[in-house]
Structure 1
Amino acid sequence: MASGTRRHRWASVLAVTALAVAGGGALAAPADAASQQVSFPTHCIPPAVAGIPPIDGTTTAKIAVDKATPKVGDTVTVTYTVVSPAASNPTDIALPADIMTPSGKVTLGGAQSGSVTVTGPKKNDPVAGKAPFPSFSMTGTFTVTAPGAITLSPGDYNIHTSYILELDTPCTVTNPPAPVSETVTAGDNTPVNNRAITLGSASGKPGDSVTVQGSNFTPGAAVTLAGRSGSTQTADTATVTADAQGGFSGSLTVKDKTTSGVVAYEGAAYSTDKGAGPAAYTVVDDTPVPPGSQKLTTTVKAGTLSMSQAGDSVQLSAVDFGKDGTSQGALQTVTVQDFRGGPAGWSLTGKVTDFTAPGGKIDAGKLSWTPSCATKAGSPSTCQAGSAGTVGLSGATLASTPDGTLTGGEFTVDAGLSLSVPAFTPAGSYAGVLTLTLT
């Protein structure tokens, strides 16, 4: 999609203030500040042998994860800890240590739905007759399938005891889902394509050769150079090999008079994942005019791909200390002008640093956006907004236009910003840097 002939970088500082509750002394964030202990009504059914009716009580639980900002495709380990079960030993018989085996479910919501099966080891302290069951933990894993904020809520659980008899005490969430205890923010794992090409000249006569230079290709890869007529590849091709740094310099003979651009790619066919270009190229038709005729020519000068911003800072809304909160704001409007007049579209991507303050940090993966894009009337291209979701350290697409026979125009790009601030994040003014790259 991108021509690769020009790259623009623009940085905007995003600031957010977390408000502390009144009180003296320094504030420190617990290691698992992102998760919170929750309570929810539970319906438990004691074993029939106990001869007692179902128990409608309250379960207190907490969920923790090993990765707070995973990528799509990553495996996340979930630990579901029942701090205070709603059920108790259903018999008058004291239960010895290590005869309880718990199992349960964790409910996923937000960007990914479903449930996670969790199980615990056969491990417990002794339980007196009719005494409450002790706290226990269960673990399981799930694979991240979608970017964005994924919520985790405690689900149903079962307490199995193996002493004299094999007994089960299943407990279900009365009004599912239970409150959210943990949220992970998943980033898109799609590799960024930084391949780029430049041409030695922008035009030539039929049969002329044009020098093509490339960068950031796979070292040692075979790279195909090809002419393009709009979105269709022509018969003009050549092959070069990328050096140890992923660069190359090759020559392509262009015969097809309809050529409007040149691309370079790895593999059997051009793709936006492993290709670069098209870079604009025009074949100058040198066919002689008939006798008694005059050929009239003029030139439309190609311009550049550029962007500007309405400002370089954004103040997000404040959140309260001690509570999970969302700090919101809006990206300063970005104006993109594509006056190249060739076949290449463009892509505007962004990535953000961690938000830091003295004594505290908010992970970059906690920032998400909802992009929007408008196209000025008369523009050959149509702007496409990127998907709503996490920005993070690896970045995401804010807006783009596709390749085409003729591209260009003026566009305005905006985005709603949302920063998920974990509970008990130390009070202070946090700042991160969002860098936008236009290619």
Structure 2
Amino acid sequence: MTGGHLTTRRGAMAAASLGITATAVSGLALSPARADTVAGVETDTPARAEAAPRTGRVAYECQIFSTRFRYDAEVSVRAPATAGVGDQITVAADFSDLPGVAPLPIGKWRTSGALTVAGAQSGGLPIAVPERTGPIAARAPIPIGRATGRLTLTAPGEVTLAPAAIKIVADAGAEATIDCTPVGKPAPLATVKVTESGPLEPSVSADPSTIARGAALRVTGTGWRPGDARLALCDANGAHCEPGDLTGATAAADGAGRLTGSARVARTAAAGARTLLAAQGTLSGRTPITVLADKPPPKGCGDAPRSRCVEQRLKLTVNGGPLTMSQEPGEVEMAPVTLDGTPSSSTGELRKVQVVDARGGTVGWSLTGTLTDFTSPGGTKIPAGGLTWKPRCSARSGSSPATPGSVGALGGSTAATLCGGAGGGPVVGGTYDVGAALDLKIPPATGAGRYTAVLTLTLS
């Protein structure tokens, strides 16, 4: 960056102009500014083929405060087409927007409700939508979206799911509840065929059983429920599974319970005796595998014959560069204030500064600043000591560390540190982004007018 009042050279001095306006009128006005766990791996009921969602119209009678209104909702329900006794399935119900009846703007809202469960088992399935945020204008439609719930299947046969009551709690500065009850008995919008689940003895095997990091393996097994399964690589005891040790893992069982899948061992996976885990709801299977450590590359030819190994020597010269800085163009415009007979303050931001240390040595650097008094054309002043800064200093990737200076007052007699890079150890250097928040205290007895001060930054 270049421009402004900052010059770019080692040991250079740069002046940034700061301005402030004060007007002698009364009043102060600153510028506007439940999952199961198997061997440490979270698992879920195996994913099953989901039936095509069915959509229907449901008439709701709703009430907010003393106002009643009609909500002709379009609702679609999604659920697995088939599942087994003991499975816990996820059910989703999508609702069209609620009519705009809220008399005030809504900042956030949450929706809860239920689906009626009938058939092989009966009862109610609670569903909910995560809290949503607006704003929603007064009397504008309220998006409901997708409500989900978890249903544990307890008996074989067909289980149907139908929309039931819903409730929206809206926050419009204070909470208001909208209760909606179906008119009549809504028709089912999803059916799950639940099969009797007998005792399963899942098995799993891996090919190859000894594998290098980065290589792919094939997974097979028998005795599984139809649907997806999860794969993980665990320690030798089948515990402490590391999700990142397998990449591209996928597995599923067919209608006969035959499991097939594949995965690739991550290059960062720990080597040695490991366990491959396949998990499907509360079912799990394990098989031992061995992950080979990477073979280190040979170092030099050693005793290898020269007809099969040769060496070439590479040389490099690295030349050191300069220590420089640059700044974002423009001046620092402090926030204007209006005098009211009491002390006031004005804030601002130092124009962004960049320091580049390309010397390739062990000597550190320091960026300091001094400030003149704020003066106006009428001759009145605001002392420089009234300005404090809060330095910021960050090193870019690969650079040696840098430390911001302390929060404190500026002035012309003593330089204050904005940022510095320590030296004296290993080679230092890199690129650094520097800035500071500014806060000027203004006495109540200050003349109105446009004030200017010069902040000088010195890199050494």
Give TM-score, length-normalised by structure 2.
Answer: 0.34
| Higher Cα radius of gyration | 2
Give TM-score, length-normalised by structure 1.
Answer: 0.36
